[in-house]
A and B are shown apart, each in its own frame.
Chain A
């Protein structure tokens, strides 16, 4: 059985148009612009842009989620920056973004280089990717089994004669633990993407390197890095966006599996936003929560723009 690809009408028009000359294709494009872009644009506006703008509006108000809204201008933002807890949460978000991000990229890149010529690299790649498939919450629950005072780690340590193990899950140790866990979960994902980029490099470049007598570092510097640079850029943007949204692992990991909320030492802006809006046992502050969410969005936007600027290179075609 063979598949016959039937080009959709638009493509056919475009194809025939190309034969007829530039003006026809332009006209066809213009005619199809609205029907093709329109639905996506409308859906995107209704489901994303409008709610986002509404959140910005809420952030200028004091509002309990129901009842009257009081306009307070930039009050919520001023408040956030004088709130030590918000600043700490913001700091934690930046720690995740930069420290964990750096760790992930260094490890992922190292793994990519090792895995490139390894036998059985497909299996190895799946194994590394596996933690990313598992819901982060499972790791949160698992942490209890592993690190509780009577848990797996301490039982193992006791067998080696360690009678006074560190308090793994104490409030101050939780965040570093979360950072390690995040690195472990996410590395496989980025390794997979980077490897796809590295695999794309045609083998004759390596042959050329071998002929020219380049060492491993030179091969990395002059072949692998330049040819995978755009993949790196994309990965950096992906990580920036996802790291600012990290929530559930902290909620489950730091807090408890059902009773309460994580200690403030582990809060990120996402957790701060959630607690402010849905604290559960006090009047919700939707205005302040929206302000915190809008700031996170602003942070992501600025960082993504900066990253794209920094990572921008002439695209190399090969």
Chain B
């Protein structure tokens, strides 16, 4: 008995010692010499995108001799960055979507303008000329009073209505372009015994896509953001606000959404869609990669833009940012620019199947329709139409929109909720 106790004590002590050693090695290697920089990546080891970035890092180290201390943190990398912003342990380079990066870095003045990165030559051209002008034109990426953007985008995400072109070739030929077309198409599907739309109703962000797109289609990019900024709530009296809500109500009343969408857990419904149990899925450009592993045999991804969107297209940047207090900012910017090499941009398009930022980069077959729609658009908007007021989307807009999409509130109630909710919101937040 005593022997066993001693042995277990020994085992316990070794475990404690090991974990202490593990912690110690994790904090070592800190230095401010300029031959290196730290990069907290939004990709996790094994992801297709991560493999492209890792290849670029290896080439970059070989070419410049600069050591890249990369940590594959995953999508929480920015949440982990925020607490470091006031310390000396801040990473030199982070990446993420605009919607997640802007609130924590740009709007708090914690991002460095990437003057050097935009001035570097890549493949014989200045980085600033590699990013299509249309994306940068309204200075969306530039903080007030600065002359260079704080973000260097390397890819784009957007949303689209996805479908299987093997089973629905007619949607490739003749995608619905107006709302009435869309409703008529879905009626036909219902008559044919098909479920028109799959949606994971438990993801509030996905529910919000519908209204945002409808609103932008009716009143143009930035209209929802303007409405949200109105402290009196009167903006919700605009007829477009109600009309857009009625469009969503049409979908609920028409019974176009898949059965059980109001009581399922992601990714149940997108799985059903990939299994051909519903025709369309309105979701992001990550859908082919995300649903690929469980898609039915012979599934061929194709998409059309949200009907009635007009000449606008959603374009969410994914790119690099350098925190203001970064010690090796210059090296970090060199790498950010280096990653815009056509080699890696092509790899992002063809291997990782996302949309590279460079107009001349390759895109995969799945993304070709999305890319065409992007190129054809003449104005762009962001997720949630760029709203980033503290807690507005999470606590007010998303819950109200979820009620609308889940059929718990009709269009009028929704507008009323938003109006009173917004008055309260601004009373508390101004």
**Could you list some 28 contacts between A and B, CB below 8 A?**
A65-B82, A65-B85, A66-B108, A79-B428, A82-B428, A83-B424, A143-B265, A144-B268, A149-B259, A149-B268, A169-B202, A171-B402, A171-B406, A171-B408, A256-B202, A256-B265, A259-B203, A259-B266, A260-B266, A264-B395, A275-B391, A279-B390, A280-B78, A280-B100, A281-B393, A282-B387, A282-B390, A283-B108
Judged by a CB distance under 8 angstroms, whether A113 is at the interface is: no
Excluding A82-B427, A85-B395, 12 further A-B contacts by CB distance (< 8 Å) are A1-B3, A64-B107, A64-B108, A149-B260, A171-B202, A255-B202, A256-B202, A281-B99, A282-B391, A283-B108, A284-B390, A285-B390
Interface of B is mostly: helix
Nearest-neighbor residue (CB-CB) of A255 within chain B: B202
CB neighbours of A147 from chain B (8 A): 263, 265
Closest Cβ–Cβ distance, residue A102 to chain B (whole Å):
28
Q: Is residue A184 within 8 Å, beta carbon to beta carbon, of the partner chain?
A: no
* Cβ B263 vs Cβ A279 within 8 A: no
A67 CB–B CB distance under 8 Å = yes
Question: Taking A280-B79, A282-B390 as contacts, is the C-beta distance between A148 and B268 under 8 angstroms?
Answer: yes
Contacting A167 at CB < 8 Å: which of B262, B424, B429? B262
**B205 interface contact, C-beta 8 A:** yes
Within 8 A of B (CB), among A155-204: 167-171, 173
Give the docked Cα–Cα distance between A150 and B86 (Å): 48
B2 to A281, Cβ gap below 8 A?
A: no
Residues of B with C-beta under 8 A to A61: none
Is A263 a contact of B204 with CB atoms below 8 Å? yes
The 7 A-B residue pairs whose C-beta atoms are closest, nearest first, are A149-B260, A167-B263, A256-B266, A144-B265, A66-B85, A170-B263, A260-B203
| CB proximity of A51 to chain B, nearest CB, Å | 12
Q: Is the CB of B79 within 8 A of A66?
A: no
A261–B391 CA distance with the chains assembled, in angstroms: 13
Chain B positions within 8 Å of A84 at CB level? 424
Q: How many B residues are at the interface, by size bracket?
A: 35 or more
Instruction: Verify A264–B108 contact, CB threshold 8 A.
Output: no
How far, in angstroms, from A142 to B383 measured CA to CA in the complex?
A: 31
Find chain A residues with CB under 8 A from B264 CB. Answer: 144, 148-149, 169
Chain A positions 249-291 with a Cβ under 8 Å from a chain B Cβ: 254-261, 263-264, 275-276, 278-285, 288
Kindly count the residue-residue contacts between A and B in the assembled complex, taking CB atoms under 8 Å apart: 148
Within 8 A of B (CB), among A213-263: 254-261, 263
Q: Is B48 an interface residue (CB 8 A)?
A: no
Given A148-B265, A263-B204, A282 and B388 touching (CB < 8 A)? yes
- Least Cβ–Cβ distance between A92 and chain B, in angstroms: 14
> Any chain A CB within 8 A of the CB of B110?
yes
Q: How many residues of A contact B (CB 8 A)?
A: 46
The A contact surface, by secondary structure, is loop
Chain A interface residues (CB < 8 Å from chain B): 1-3, 64-67, 79, 82-85, 143-144, 147-151, 167-171, 173, 254-261, 263-264, 275-276, 278-285, 288
Which of A65, A143, A173, A256 contacts B203, CB < 8 Å? A256
Closest to A83 in B: B428
B82 contacts A67, CB within 8 Å?
A: no
Chain A residues near B83: list those with CB within 8 A: 65
Per the bound structure, the CA–CA distance linking A64 and B85 in Å amounts to 11
- A285 contact set on B, CB distance < 8 A: 390-391
Cα distance, A280 to B338, chains bound together (Å): 28
Contacts of B310 in A (CB 8 A): none
B104 close to chain A: CB less than 8 A: yes
CB of A259 within 8 A of CB of B110, answer no
Contact A281 B384 (CB under 8 A): yes
Does B366 make an interface contact (CB < 8 A)?
Answer: no
CB interface residues, B 90-137, toward A, < 8 Å: 99-100, 103-104, 107-110
Tell me which residues across on chain B come within 8 A of A2, comparing CB atoms.
Answer: 2
Residues of B within 8 A of A66 (CB): 82, 85-86, 104, 108, 110
Q: A66-B86, A283-B390 are in contact. Are A257 and B266 (CB under 8 A)?
A: yes
B394: interface (CB < 8 Å): yes
- Residues in B with CB closer than 8 Å to A171 are 202, 262, 402, 406, 408
